[in-house]
Amino acid sequence: MTTAPPTSTGPAPSVEHDKAAESRVGLILRARELGIVLALAALVVVTAVVNPRFLSGQSIRDLVLAAAIIVVLAVGQAVVVITRNIDLSVGSVLGLSAFAVGSLLQAAPGVPVVVALLVGLAFGAVCGLVNGVLVRFGNVPALVVTLGTLYVYRGIGFFWAGGQQINADKLPPGFLAFGTAGVLGVPWLIIIALVVVLVAGLYLRTYRSGRELYAMGSNPEAARLAGIPVGRRTLAAFVVSGALAGLAGVLFAARFGTIDASAGTGMELNVVAAVVVGGVAVFGGSGTIWGAAIGALLLTTIGSALPVLGIDQFWQQAIVGALILLAIGTDRVVAARIAASLRRRESHVVS
């Protein structure tokens, strides 16, 4: 075939393209996550200056432990949002799975932690599957489906739990230990969260099916034409989000020890906020897992920094809101800069 172009010995232009490529990639990466990282750094520094104990081992540990759960949720959410969908049911799924695992351990204290984790995953996956099926086969907008299942799953949770509350003393000590202990001082929750972030991040960046998720989010119609199995991928995305929410449920149970039907209520908005703050475009197609994770970390840090800063209770929520706006604002500014630079370096027919 005369059409197959030489790939090994890249012709002159392609070389200079590669250089351009590097710079562009760098620029965009910096652009997307820069704002958040800066905000995070600034926050930590200020807090530490005001109250050095904020950087004490104990407090950092508490911080990341709290972050671990929301990070896991944010990763799942990011996957869904990138495909131009959204999953508002995560809070309810978390509650449901937490309670499921809780009552399992209550009934059979012997169950090893690993099994508990798997049960949580599976449980969430099923909830996610339901969402996915409704979106895929019922072609109902994800926002509607998951807003619905937000109510439904929560309701089921209440039915099941009733007034029952599973207290720390009912849970096997091994499981509670898992909530705080770890290897070489690194708590399990954090290890798990990191693994989730790395795997998901790598997958979305360097695997074909991962990139296809972006394609679907960027232009669904074109994705169909490109022969991407849109339906299956959508389904998968929701299953992943559900499964991670389930996993987060187990972590939640282990961390907080007390579980009732209302666990994780209202968390969905925080998670979406984290993802958005993390620079994932609400209408899909762009953004990274790293970004989402950092976004989650930032929000949690705010949550625990403000009391340390001794800022009046009543200001906390307001400040969180303001910071969300600030974060997406800066993100937009940078994005605009890129667009401008693109417009200038326009293509022209070489003659």
Partner 1 sequence: MSSPDLSPRRLLGRLTSWDAAIIGVLILFVIIASFTVDNFASSRNFSFLVLDLAPIALMALPMTLIIVTGEIDLSVASTLGLASAVMGAMWEGGLPIETIIPVCVLLGAVLGAVNGTFVTVFGLPSLAVTIGTLALYRGLAFVVLGDRAVAEFPASYTDLVTGRIGDTGIPLLLIPLVVLGLVFAVVLHVTPFGRSLFAIGANAEAARFSGTRVTRVKFWLYVVSGAVAALAGVLWTLRYSSARADNGTGLELAVVAAVLLGGVSIFGGRGTLWGVIAGALLLTSLQNALRLADVSNEALSVVTGLLLIVSVLAPNLASNSHAALRRRRRPDPPPPASPNPDPAPSPTPAVRSS
Partner 2 sequence: GGTTRDSSAGDTSGSTGAAAATANPDAPIREGLKIAFLPKQLNNPYSDIEAGGGQTAVTELKGDYKLVGPNDASASSQVSYINTLIQQQQDVIGIAANDPNAVCPSLNQARDAGIKVVAFDSDAAKQCRDVFVNQATTQGIGETLVKMTHDLTGGQGDIAILSATPNATNQNAWIAVVQEELKKPENAGMKLVATVYGNDDDQKSFQEAQGLLQTYPNLKAIVSPTTVGIAATARYVSSSSYKGKVAVTGLGTPNQMREFVKDGTVSQFALWNPADIGYLAGYAGAALASGQITGKQGETFTAGKLGKYTIGADGEIVLGPPTVFNAQNIDQFNF
Partner 3 sequence: MASPEPGRPLLAVRSVAKSFGAVSAVRDVSFPLYGGEVHALVGENGAGKSTIVKMLAGLHRPDSGTIELDGQPVELHSPADALAAGIAVIYQEPTLFPDLSVAENIFMGRQPLRSGRRIDRRAMNARAAAYFTQLGVAIDPDRPARGLSIADQQIVEIAKALSLDARVIVMDEPTAALTGVEVKRLFAVAESLRAGGAALLFISHRFEEITALCRRVTIMRDGAHVSTDPIDELTVDEMVRRMVGRPLDTLFPKHDVVPGDVVLEVEGLTRAGVFADVSFQVRAGEIVALAGLVGAGRSEVVQAVFGVDPRDSGEVRVDGKSLRGGSPAAAMRAGVALVPEDRRQQGLVLDASIERNITSTRLGSLAKLGLLVGGAERRFARDWAARLQTKYSHLTDPVGRLSGGNQQKVVLAKWLSTQPRVLIVDEPTRGIDVGTKAEVHRLLSDLAADGVAIVMVSSELPEVLGMADRVLVMREGELVAELPRAEATEQTVMFAATGQGAAA
Ligand X SMILES: Nc1ncnc2c1ncn2[C@@H]1O[C@H](COP(=O)(O)OP(=O)(O)OP(=O)(O)O)[C@@H](O)[C@H]1O
Interface segment toward partner 3; rule CB under 8 A; list 53-61, 177-185, 186-194, 209-217 = 209-217
Q: Which 133-162 positions form the footprint of partner 2 (CB under 8 A)? A: 158, 161-162
Q: Measured from the CB of residue 265, what is the shortest distance to partner 1 in angstroms?
A: 9
Closer of 26 and 52 to partner 2 (Cβ) = 52
- Cα distances (Å, whole numbers) of residue 177 to 102, 171, 180, 254, 346: 14, 10, 5, 8, 58
Cα–Cα distance for residue pair 317/232, rounded to 1 Å: 39
Q: Measured from the CB of residue 338, what is the shortest distance to ligand X in angstroms?
A: 12
Q: Measured from the CB of residue 208, what is the shortest distance to partner 1 in angstroms?
A: 28
Q: Which 223-252 positions form the footprint of partner 3 (CB under 8 A)? A: 223-229
Closer of 4 and 350 to ligand X (Cβ) = 350
3-state secondary structure (DSSP) of residue 152: helix
317 belongs to the binding site for partner 2 (CB under 8 A): no
Closer of 171 and 268 to partner 1 (Cβ) = 268
Closer of 139 and 167 to partner 1 (Cβ) = 139
Interface segment toward partner 2; rule CB under 8 A; list 1-9, 78-86, 96-104, 309-317 = 309-317
Bridge partner residues of 186 (DSSP):
183
Q: Measured from the CB of residue 220, what is the shortest distance to partner 3 in angstroms?
A: 10
Q: Give 223-244 as a DSSP string.
A: HHHTT--HHHHHHHHHHHHHHH
Name the nearest CA neighbour of 121 among 212, 192, 42, 27. 192
Cα–Cα distance for residue pair 279/90, rounded to 1 Å: 20
Q: Which 262-301 positions form the footprint of partner 3 (CB under 8 A)? A: 281, 285-286
Which positions lie near partner 1, rule CB under 8 A?
Answer: 134, 138-141, 143-145, 147-152, 154-156, 158-159, 266, 269, 272-273, 276, 281-283, 312-322, 324-325, 328-329, 332
Name the nearest CA neighbour of 106 among 173, 177, 166. 166
Q: Whats the size of the chain, residue-wise?
A: 351
- In which residue are the tokens 């968390």 written? 267
Find the distance separating the first CA and the last CA of the chain, reported in whole Å: 26
Q: Which does 3 bind (CB under 5 to 8 A by kind): ligand X, partner 2, partner 3, none?
A: partner 3
Token pair recorded at residue 171 = 């849970």
